[in-house]
Amino acid sequence: MKPYRKHVLVCSSSDCAQYGAEDILDLLGQGLRERGLQQEIKLTKTGCLKECEDGPIVIVYPDGVWYSRVAIEDVDDIIDEHLVNERVLSRLLHHRMN
């Protein structure tokens, strides 16, 4: 198996879950399958990332991009803009690691 091109992590702790993290995780998985990206992009449900007041948090590695307050409406943009076209969504950017 070849390595994944990207790894997407979704915080699903209790705080993020109350803001819809499970739905975001499900929609990301569905969107990746629909676009045939599940062999290129790894999707992982995580525990608390200690950014509870800004959840749900979605992280994209190896880019080191943390998105905050992600809503269901943002999922297609994360997939199409960031994961496919390599464009960071500044409107959702929490911070970017170097």
Enumerate residues 6+ apart whose C-beta is below 8 A from 59.
8, 9, 10, 49, 65, 66, 67
pLDDT at site 95: 84
Full set of structural domains in the chain with CATH? 6-96 (3.40.30.10)
pLDDT, one tens digit per residue, over 62-91 is 999 999 999 999 999 999 999 999 999 999
86 conformational bin, left if phi > 0, alpha if psi -120 to 50, beta if neither: left
pTM for the whole structure: 0.93
Q: pLDDT averaged over the chain?
A: 93
